Amino acid sequence: MEKTAQKKKKKAVSLITHLFLICLAVVVLLPFVYIVLISFGRGVTSVSTVIPSSFTTRNYSQLFTETKYLSWMGNSVLVAAGTMTVAVIIVFTSSYVLSRMRFCGRHKLFSGILLLQVFPLVLSMVSLFKIFVAIGFLNKLSSLIIVNSVFSSAGLILVAKGYFDAIPHSLDEAAKVDGASRMTILLRVIFPLALPILSFIAIQSFVISYNEYAVASAIMSEGVDTLPLAVGLQSMLHGQFGQNWSLYCAGAVLGSIPMIVLFYSLQKYFIGDLLAGGVKE
Amino acid sequence: MRRRLSFLICLMMTVCIWACGVTPARPSQILAKEPPSLKVWFSQNDSENKVLEQIASRFTSETGIPVEVVPRVNVFNAKNDLVNNAETDARPDIVFMQAPDIGELVVSGYLLPLDIGDETRSRYADAAFEAFRYGGEIYGAGYSIELYGLIYNKNLISEDHLPETWSEFFDRAEQLTLKNADGTIAQYGALLDCKDVWFNYPIIRNFGGYYYGVDRNGGYNPFDIGYNNEGMIQYCEFLKEKMRTGIILRGQNQSQSEISAEFMEGRVAMIIYGLWTASYWQNAGIEYGIVGLPRRDDGTMSKPLATVNGFVINRFTFHREEALRFLAYILRDDHQQMLIEAANHHERKTGLRTPVNLSVINSAYVQSDEILRGISEIGFDCEPFPNIPEGTIWYNYTSPALKSIFFDGVDTKTKLDELSESIRSDVQKMNIVPEPVSLPWYAWLILGATVVTAAWIYILSRRKRRPVLYRLHYHRGETMLAWGLLMPLLILLGMFYLFPILHNIYLSMTDFSGVNLKNYSFVGFYNYQQIFTDGLKGFAALLAWTVLFATLVVTISFIFGTFIAVLLDKIDARLAKIYRIIYILPWVVPSVIILLMWSGMLSDNGSISKLLGIADPLGQPWKARFWTILVMIWFSFPYYMIVAYSFLKAIPKDYYEASSVDGAGPVRQFFSITLPLVFRAVLPTLIMGFIMQFNQFGVYILTGGGPFSGRLGEPGATDLLITHVFNLAFNSKRYALAAAYSVVIFIFVSVFSVAAMRVGKASPDRLG
């Protein structure tokens, strides 16, 4: 009897959990449903329209025929992938150093890295631009990769260092006793354990770079087909197309596909119980 | 060891300052040998760019001067991009831009005055060059004009019945307004936005109000503001009366786009508008026409405000003569014809560009199209928007001022006086030449005392915290290796974080502003003096709200995100996968677009108010604050969910096993194990999150800082510290002041973060 009661209780709990999660999903999805509706809408002139009066797929075809959508998206994916690679390398080595190596000034340095980011950098574009000019960064996609990877890794080191601290030191010590070199420890012991956080870093740096607007629009002042997507999309709102909400939303819907694909393909690294074997001491 | 560290840091800083100080080699000597190549920044319109390229290659074959036509994403960035690039290797020679943007550029010396001959002038409408006149010189040549007129729905009003004067306009509008039995409006005779001063400007002028007066030489006088004269009061009272007839937009947050939408539905007979959304009307099957505005009641012409777009020349060009020649070449009648036809997509005649060249206006191409002809002819009598740097000041004030006059029942005269006062005060602030300010002796004393006390407290706390037991001996080789490995990161941080911060501190001590973009000089602590003398009104309340906002958003998103991560960990893995994909959406899709969607959904006739039955969610201060916090949590919880998720895996399972032996339920486990452990690990991220929310500009896209209740220029209910002070400084274009504000905020937030780090790390677990 007691067992069935417990089972019932368990079932009720899981039902409530799912109900809650579904409600949350609805709340999360609401604005996106809206974006999708508008992207198929015809003659949407304002965002407060609840449901467009008629639907069409013309907005999507217009993206490819009348704008440089494909090259924008290509540029953005290229820059974001580059940023992702550079950021993962920088963050992985730097947070390993900050977390594992005993050296003079490491606590100060860590606080320093945090403090540097207190400054609202986007607001001092004038100062940033000075340095872009000085090092010849104008109108190059490669400069966006460098800038974006600095911006994203500065913040991500803070997360990654915390994660590295949580990986038990006994593991590296054991490997050391076995005679492994530092490089071997880094690649064979730490790297597999750090995969969840590395995939997080990969996604976050991709997202930051993919959505970055301020620096990109300042640096890429020449040409239309060399723009990244975030800047190109904005031109749908004020530009040759007037305030074309439908076109803008269509662009945003297609534009989020690379990120969703990336997240989906990296998701298994979050889920896999990678630390389970190692943590039990 | 310590000395070595400070040496390293010094070295890094010197390297980075040196790197920034090195100016790129001046290309003038190199270029002098090559044939000069002109660079023209042009349009976002593809076909227009192609035609200019054709014209350019003709020019090249005639003169041997190569020309490069650079497509641009939009014309609005032209001013900033020119300032940024004017003296770099990428400098453009000819730039296509809006006439109202030239004021700042002229004052700071970025534009070349042009000598336009009478022959050229006689081939163009007056506005083409007058719009670019500044202080007696002409700085640009107009190519197209953006303006508006009276647009009417041919099925609702015939051309012969169109009003001749403004009083006829309002009579006709009332006659044509039809109501249903239940009092709702079936058809509008006309539809106006009472908060607007751009499209309604001709009506304001009809009553006698004006923006900036004109001085004897024909230039604008920004100190002469006609927004609180008798005429303007009459105008407001008149519109207030008309509100009852239904020809004024009802919702206080509605704007021109709603008017255009109603016109598209075929429910409005007349609107005052341009052709920006004309393609929608066409697709919806509306038969519309455009004519000039009704005359003023005294019989004179009404002039719509107009923005002329045209070409200016970069003063820092290396090819002055060539640029002038090419400009004259573009201005030829046949080339104007080619450009205008291409810009309007040839036979599609989209109305995207309205010509100012007389021969083009009179050509068969324009005259055979009723709409193009209609709008082109309005261009003969228009009022170019003031191109002085003070021109944009009204943006900040008119809409909130008129909103409180028309919707909050504030006394018209009082509010209009306040409006003019606010504009005038900003004009004054823009025109002050700052005197260098140095700190008085007592300020130095206080500063010195603070530093000494801080150092003393620091030393004391160090002594206590570090018993001899803990003193670590660092290995020299290890230290060298570590710094070596970190070098790439540190150099990059030095360039893209440290240098901009230092440079920003320098800027905050100069008189860098919209009217002094180039030759700014050191003015000491002038801007800081400004902040601490008159910038502190309502500062405490604003700061309190900002801190509350940032704390709530970060705390709730963190707890909620961790909670969801735990929940997803417990349920079936396949389902969790699906949920997770959904939940990360707010994190991965560009936030600007979703913020715009949210602001649409939260507007007073948006879907939130319709679905949930909440009237105008952003209407009252606390309601608006509630929704702002909610939307920002919506944005940031996925990030913490993912962060927490990767940390969950690192929490040893024994903790949970031990606690469930002690009889702790899942709720207690969550609050006493999961949350604290994740919190400890992600503390730096949380502090970063707080900083980001503290400097959150997204709120501005969502609410515009409103609702406003106090005097104009005071913070609105959802204004954060940073949005408010930047608005203050930017509206009067005092960029150095903005820099000073960001330094002050930087110091405040740094102190906070250091304190938070200390408190959070109070646990002795530092040996790691």
Peptide bond into B707 cis (omega under 30): yes
pLDDT at B695 over 90: no
Identify the CA nearest to B144 among candidates B437, B376, B381. Answer: B376
Task: Centre a 10 Å sphere on the Cβ of residue B443 and count the other Cβ atoms it contains.
Answer: 13
C-beta separation of A219 from A132 below 8 A: yes
Identify the CA nearest to A147 among candidates B495, B498, B499, B84. Answer: B495
Instruction: Check if B478 contacts A (Cβ < 8 Å).
Output: yes
Instruction: Check if B496 contacts A (Cβ < 8 Å).
Output: yes
> In a mutagenesis test of the A interface, which of B83, B260, B498, B597 is the best target, namely the one with the most A β-carbons within 10 Å?
B597
E strand or H helix that includes residue B722: helix B721-731
Instruction: Check if A150 contacts B (Cβ < 8 Å).
Output: yes
Mean pLDDT of B463-490: 74
Identify the CA nearest to B525 among candidates B448, B453, B435, B442. Answer: B435
Q: Write out pLDDT tens, residues A123-156.
A: 788 889 989 998 888 899 999 999 999 999 998 9
- Give B296's DSSP letter: P
Please give the residue of chain B at the shortest CA–CA distance from A54: B284
Of A28, A43, A242, the CB nearest to B283: A43
Cβ contact (<8 Å) for A235 and B44?
yes
Mean pLDDT of B10-37: 47
Identify the CA nearest to B564 among candidates B538, B587, B591. Answer: B587
Cβ contact (<8 Å) for A114 and B573?
no
Q: Write out pLDDT tens, residues A210-253.
A: 988 889 988 998 888 889 998 888 877 765 556 778 888 899 89
Q: Write out pLDDT tens, residues B428-451.
A: 988 888 888 777 778 788 888 888
Q: Which of residues 549-578 of B touch A (CB under 8 A)?
A: 564, 567-568, 570-571, 573, 575-577
Cβ contact (<8 Å) for B20 and A130?
yes
C-beta separation of A157 from A91 below 8 A: yes
Q: Write out pLDDT tens, residues A251-260.
A: 989 998 998 8
Report helix, strand or coil for B619.
coil
Identify the CA nearest to A67 among candidates B274, B74, B80. Answer: B74
Report helix, strand or coil for B437.
strand
Mode of pairing for the β-strands spanning B149-153 and B94-98: unpaired
CATH H-level superfamily of B149-305+390-431: Periplasmic binding protein-like II (3.40.190.10)
Cβ contact (<8 Å) for B583 and A25?
yes
Task: Identify the residue whose tokens are 């309002």.
Answer: B170
Instruction: Check if B738 contacts A (Cβ < 8 Å).
Output: yes
Identify the CA nearest to B560 among candidates B664, B631, B634, B667. Answer: B634
Give the pLDDT score at B280: 83
CA distance B401 to B418: 8
Burial B211-238 (b: 16+ CB within 10 A, else e): bbeeeeeebbbbeebbbbbebbbbbbee
Of B495, B592, B681, the CB nearest to A166: B681
Q: Write out pLDDT tens, residues A25-52.
A: 999 998 888 889 889 988 777 777 667 7
What distance in Å separates residue A120's CA from the closest CA in chain B?
Answer: 7
C-beta separation of B110 from B315 below 8 A: yes
The ipTM is: 0.89
DSSP letter for each residue of B753-767: HHHHHHHHT-SS---
- Give B566's DSSP letter: H
CATH H-level superfamily of B34-146+308-384: Periplasmic binding protein-like II (3.40.190.10)
Reported confidence tier of residue B551, pLDDT bands at 50, 70, 90: very high
Give the pLDDT score at B170: 94
Q: Write out pLDDT tens, residues B589-623.
A: 877 888 888 888 888 777 777 777 777 778 788 88
List of residues 6+ apart from A37 with CB closer than 8 A:
A51, A52
> In a mutagenesis test of the B interface, which of A103, A186, A256 is the best target, namely the one with the most B β-carbons within 10 Å?
A103
CA distance B418 to B425: 10
Of A105, A134, A153, the CB nearest to B22: A134
Q: Write out pLDDT tens, residues B516-543.
A: 888 888 888 888 888 887 756 677 888 8
Task: Identify the residue whose tokens are 């150095």.
Answer: B736
Cβ contact (<8 Å) for B685 and A159?
yes
Tokens of B283: 């697709």
Cβ contact (<8 Å) for A161 and B84?
no
Alpha carbon B317 to chain centroid, angstroms? 29
Reported confidence tier of residue B18, pLDDT bands at 50, 70, 90: very low
Tokens of B656: 């949970």
Q: Write out pLDDT tens, residues B392-432.
A: 888 788 988 998 899 888 899 999 999 999 999 999 988 88
CA distance B315 to B295: 41
Task: Identify the residue whose tokens are 């230092």.
Answer: B502
Q: What are phi and psi of B68, to 5 degrees?
A: -110, 125
* B149-305+390-431 has the same fold as B34-146+308-384: yes
CA distance B758 to B766: 12
Task: Identify the residue whose tokens are 């354990």.
Answer: A193
Task: Identify the residue whose tokens are 């303006």.
Answer: B147
| Percent helix, strand and coil across chain A, each to the nearest 5 | 75, 0, 25
Task: Identify the residue whose tokens are 């609805």.
Answer: A26
Answer CATH for B543-682 from 1.10.150.120, 1.20.1250.20, 1.10.3720.10, 3.60.90.10: 1.10.3720.10
pLDDT at A186 over 60: yes
C-beta separation of B65 from B94 below 8 A: no
Angle at the Cα of B228 from the Cα atoms of B225 and B229, rounded to 5 degrees: 90
Task: Identify the residue whose tokens are 């009704």.
Answer: B294
Helices (H), ranges, B183-277 = 201-207, 230-242, 256-264
Please give the residue of chain B at the shortest CA–CA distance from A193: B650
What distance in Å separates residue B120's CA from the closest CA in chain A?
Answer: 28
Residue extents of the structural domains in chain B: 34-146+308-384, 149-305+390-431, 543-682
Q: Which residues in chain B have Cβ-Cβ distances shorter than 8 Å to A232? A: 73
Mapped to the 3 state alphabet, what secondary structure does B169-233 carry? HHHHHHHHCEECCCCCEEEEEECECCCCCCCCHHHHHHHCCEEEEECCCCCEEEEEEECCCHHHH
Q: Which residues in chain A have Cβ-Cβ distances shorter than 8 Å to B653? A: 276, 279-280
C-beta separation of B726 from B699 below 8 A: no
Give the pLDDT score at B29: 43
Mean pLDDT of B559-576: 88
CA distance A49 to B695: 30
Q: Which of residues 596-625 of B touch A (CB under 8 A)?
A: 596-601, 603, 605-607, 610
Of A35, A146, A238, the CB nearest to B74: A238
Tokens of B37: 């190549």
Task: Identify the residue whose tokens are 């959505």.
Answer: A211
Instruction: Check if A139 contacts B (Cβ < 8 Å).
Output: yes
CA distance B502 to B497: 9
Residue extents of the structural domains in chain A: 68-279
CA distance B402 to B387: 24
E strand or H helix that includes residue B124: none
Cβ contact (<8 Å) for A28 and B585?
yes
CATH number of A68-279: 1.10.3720.10
Give the pLDDT score at B496: 92
Please give the residue of chain B at the shortest CA–CA distance from A221: B81
Reported confidence tier of residue B386, pLDDT bands at 50, 70, 90: very high
CA distance A190 to A96: 9
